[in-house]
Amino acid sequence: MGYYLGLDVGSVSTNFVLLDKEGKVVWDLYLRTEGRPLVAIEKGLGELAKENPKVLGAGTTGSGRKLAGVLIGADVIKNEITAHAVAALALVPSVQTVLEIGGQDSKLIILRDGVVTDFAMNTVCAAGTGSFLDHQAARLGVPIEEFGKLALKAKEEVRIAGRCAVFAESDMIHKQQMGYPTEEIVAGLCSALVRNYLNNVGKGKELLPTVVFQGGVAANLGMRRAFEKALGTKVVVPEYYSVMGAVGAALLAKEEVANTGRSKFKGMNVANWENEAGSFECPHCPNQCEIVEIKQEGKVIARWGDRCGRWSNVEVAV
């Protein structure tokens, strides 16, 4: 039995999934990236090695997709938009709208007839994304897992400014001092964040059902309900909502391998190899590009970060 590996290296979490040949998730892993993607990838590979799967193909996505891709020898290295769209389509074929809220960014993908027709990502502000919710939950002394459930208990919700995390926070502090119950503040916050998302990321877009909500924040019941209220339609949260990027990457790898006939995956040995990332500033022009150098087992396997190609085009061992 062979499997397809998908890896989504994001700013907040690093996710691994294994799909069987039918595209069903048979194993998944959610790790915190904690600002050190290399460590998170190695840790995940270590866990994966315990399962000792036969990997037929591998794909990577997320902001760390390139790093992950060269480390494991990925067949596809794809952007998050495509990966999320592919996964949503595979699990919910009728999808026309994908709401995706992760740790640092939020995305909106519009599909028609199974093809992406438009998308948007938050540009200027991370209010409403996972890290902001994390922070606010900690400040209110509520475990993040309970945060959304708490919002459902509220009979009323208080009005919180949604445009900017700083405004939202000062509004919340004010309402706390006024004595509003925590659940009403939390419910108000969820509505504010949804309002912000729809006005900012969703501006000018037509959000039609079926609406799929994925990404780490989809775990939050308060956010789900706030979206349903704002959109006036049911919101579908797929079973593997938190690892959808990785699912998409694995599906793309499956297709790629079907096309090329063989996989570039380096094999499960990769879990035992020593990896090292270093950087230096190129002194050759005033642009001062920061060059990143990735070594595996002491050999340079990739370099990037330069504009002119002086470093990245140099032959490196593969």
Partner 1 sequence: MKVTFPHMGSLAIPMKALLEEAGLEVVLPPPTSKRTLTLGSRHAPEFACLPLKINLGNYLEALELGADTIIMAGGVGPCRFGYYGQVQREILRSLGKDCDFLIFEPPAGDFKGLASTCRRLFAGCRPAGILRGAKIAWAKARAVDKLWQVSLWARPREVERGRTSKIIRKLYHKLDQACEMKRIRRIVREGIEELKSQAKGEPKAHIALVGEIYVVLDPFSNQYIEERLGEMGVEVSRTIYLSQWIVHHLVLPTFRLHRPNRSLGLASGYLNYAVGGHGLETVANTVLAARRRFDGVVQLAPFTCMPEIVAASILPRVSKGEGISVLTLFLDEHTGEAGLVTRLEAFVDMLLRQQRQRRQGHGILSWA
Task: Write out the residues near partner 1 by the rule CB under 8 A.
Answer: 63, 76, 78-82, 86, 89, 113-119, 121, 123-124, 203-205, 251-252, 255-256, 258-259, 285-288, 307, 309, 313
Q: What are phi and psi of 28, to 5 degrees?
A: -145, 155
| Minimum CB–partner distance for residue 65 and partner 1 (Å) | 9
Of 186 and 289, the one with the shorter C-beta distance to partner 1 is 289
Of 79 and 170, the one with the shorter C-beta distance to partner 1 is 79
Q: Which residues are within 8 A (CB) of 8 and not within 5 positions of it... i.e. 6 or more apart? A: 14, 15, 60, 61, 62, 65, 80, 83, 243, 245, 246, 249
Of 55 and 251, the one with the shorter C-beta distance to partner 1 is 251
Of 141 and 286, the one with the shorter C-beta distance to partner 1 is 286
Nearest in space to 61 (alpha carbons), one of 217, 245, 213:
245
Tokens describing residue 29:
């892993």
| Minimum CB–partner distance for residue 22 and partner 1 (Å) | 15
- HEC per residue, 249-306: HHHHHHHHHHHHCCCCCCCHHHHHCCEEEEEEECCCCCCCCEEEEEEECCEEEEEECC
| Minimum CB–partner distance for residue 156 and partner 1 (Å) | 34
Q: Which residues are within 8 A (CB) of 59 and not within 5 positions of it... i.e. 6 or more apart? A: 4, 5, 6, 7, 74, 75, 76, 77, 78, 83, 248, 249, 250, 251, 252, 253, 256
Of 228 and 255, the one with the shorter C-beta distance to partner 1 is 255
| Minimum CB–partner distance for residue 240 and partner 1 (Å) | 18
Of 36 and 174, the one with the shorter C-beta distance to partner 1 is 36
Of 183 and 306, the one with the shorter C-beta distance to partner 1 is 306
| Minimum CB–partner distance for residue 311 and partner 1 (Å) | 12
Q: Which residues are within 8 A (CB) of 119 and not within 5 positions of it... i.e. 6 or more apart? A: 81, 85, 107, 108, 109, 110
| Minimum CB–partner distance for residue 280 and partner 1 (Å) | 15
Of 206 and 276, the one with the shorter C-beta distance to partner 1 is 206
Which residue, chain included where needed, has tokens 């924040």? 217
| Minimum CB–partner distance for residue 309 and partner 1 (Å) | 5
What is the torsion angle, in degrees rounded to the nearest 10, for the CA atoms of residue 263, residue 264, residue 270 and residue 274? -170
| Minimum CB–partner distance for residue 49 and partner 1 (Å) | 28
Q: How far is CA 235 from CA 87, 197, 209, 213, 251, in A?
A: 16, 15, 8, 6, 23
